[in-house]
Amino acid sequence: MKRFVMAVFLMMVSFSLAEEKRDVVPAREGGKIVPADKMKAIYGEIKTPFKYGVVVRGEEKKLVDCPNVFRHGGKWFMVYICMNKVGYETQIAESEDLLNWKPLGKILKFADDGWDKWQAAGSLALCDFKWGGSYEPGKYDGKYWMSYLGGALQGYETDPLSIGMAWTLNPGEAREWTRITENPVLSRTQTDVRAFEKETLYKSQIIHDETQSLGFPFVMYYNGKIKSGYEKIGMAVSKDMIHWRRYGAEPVVANGEDKQRGISGDPQIVKIDDVWVMFYFGAFWKPKAFDTFACSYDLVTWTKWDGPHLVESSEPWDNQYAHKPWVVKHNGVVYHYYCAVGSEGRVIALATSKDLCGKNK
């Protein structure tokens, strides 16, 4: 019996050590740059010059952030995060028309203990990424999935933050999702951590690449931070949504290289015809905070847009920051949800490709 127990113990130790040793998946080289005329055409398709206004406010003036919009069961839903006094929790709202939103409740709450006790900011995974598509979340292993940034310390984005996974059987319910691991799937302590993410890991989005063009079905994009506060966007890949390996030694989108400061973050991936489009926000390498995009043919080599911002500060409710995009196209209208910071605190606002208010706000 003692020999059996010792054998099990040694096997567990061996497995633990194997898990600790992680190598970066080498990135594919030689990706094509998206030409300027194609970039301009994409901009013309996705631009949203009309400010509709604030669509989601936090209860009791709490701060809300990071909208994720999807469709399920004939309704639209928005997953978003709320700063509840001491940390992030994740909530859900529903809508019939993409304009009027009804909060339903929490889906990731503060935990009793663990690495994610005081921070749980979720981002829905595996949504239909086709531009103008269904925007339905897909399943894997019979479940709907969410990645989330988590942390054990109280406060606003208190370092270190890591990335965890959770699942549910019904993404349209205001019910707690099941967190799948006792430890994060990506953290700064892992051996394959890259230079740009050694301080903390932020918001992520996961797509299902059924073609496995990179050798893996699941691809994650997220922004990481070094100690100076400089944030860049990198990639990770997985075969089972639980075990993740970093892809490539370098970030795929970065800005502000000349000053080594600023943020490129909160990526959302869609596909327009044969072009992958990454919506993301920039901050501090140009004035204030704003939403922009990059394009790719292969998910790895990204061409950054250097033209007009998609959303930027222009109204009282977003005069400090207009950032953190989630963009969908439905019935010929582009809806660009973003976090607005200004006269109404931190809220979620909307800009559109058509004037839905009867005037250009």
Q: The whole model's pTM is what?
A: 0.93
Say whether pLDDT at 16 is over 50: no
CATH number of domain containing 216: 2.115.10.20
pLDDT for the residue numbered 21: 72
pLDDT higher than threshold 90 for residue 360: no
pLDDT at 357 over 90: no
Predicted local distance difference test score (pLDDT) of residue 20: 57
- Mean pLDDT within 105-117: 96
Per-residue CA distances from 15 to 9, 19, 73, 179 (Å): 10, 6, 41, 22
| 71 phi and psi angles, rounded to 5 deg | -120, 140
Q: pLDDT at residue 8 above 90? A: no
Domain hosting 228: range is 34-352
119: in domain: yes
Backbone angles phi, psi at 340, to 5 degrees: -115, 130
- Decide if 183 is inside a domain: yes
pLDDT (tens digit per residue) in 315-333: 999 999 999 999 999 999 9
258 pLDDT band (50/70/90 cuts)?
confident
Q: Which residues contact 307 (CB under 8 A, 6 or more apart)?
A: 39, 40, 43
- Residue 5, pLDDT score: 34
Residue 216: predicted pLDDT = 98
Nearest to 255 by CA among 302, 321, 199: 302
C-alpha separations of 16 from 5, 19, 201 in Å: 16, 5, 22
Identify whether 13 is part of a domain.
no
CA-wise closest residue to 287 among 326, 307, 313, 257: 313
| Domain-embedded: residue 19 | no
**HSE (side-chain half, CA atoms, 13 Å) at 312:** 12
Q: Is residue 276 part of a domain?
A: yes
Q: Could you give the CA distance from residue 76 to residue 208 in angstroms, rounded to a whole number?
A: 21
Contacts by residues 301-307 (CB-CB < 8 Å, ≥ 24 positions apart): 301/31, 301/32, 301/33, 301/252, 302/252, 302/253, 302/278, 303/33, 303/34, 303/39, 304/253, 304/255, 305/39, 305/42, 305/43, 307/39, 307/40, 307/43
Give the tens place of pLDDT for each residue, 120-171: 999 999 999 999 999 999 999 999 999 999 999 999 999 999 999 999 999 9
Taking Cα atoms as reference points, which of 171, 180, 59, 174 lies closest to residue 114?
180
Structural domain contains residue 141: yes
The answer on pLDDT for 24 being more than 50 is yes
Q: Residue 220: its pLDDT value, please?
A: 98
From the list 231, 219, 281, the residue with the least C-alpha distance to 256 is 231
The total number of structural domains in the chain stands at 1
Evaluate whether residue 6 is within a structural domain. no
Q: Is residue 109 part of a domain?
A: yes
Grouping H, G, I as helix, E, B as strand and the rest as coil, residue 133 is: coil
Res. 259: pLDDT tops 90 = no
**Least confident among 18-22, 132-136, 275-279, 298-302:** 18-22
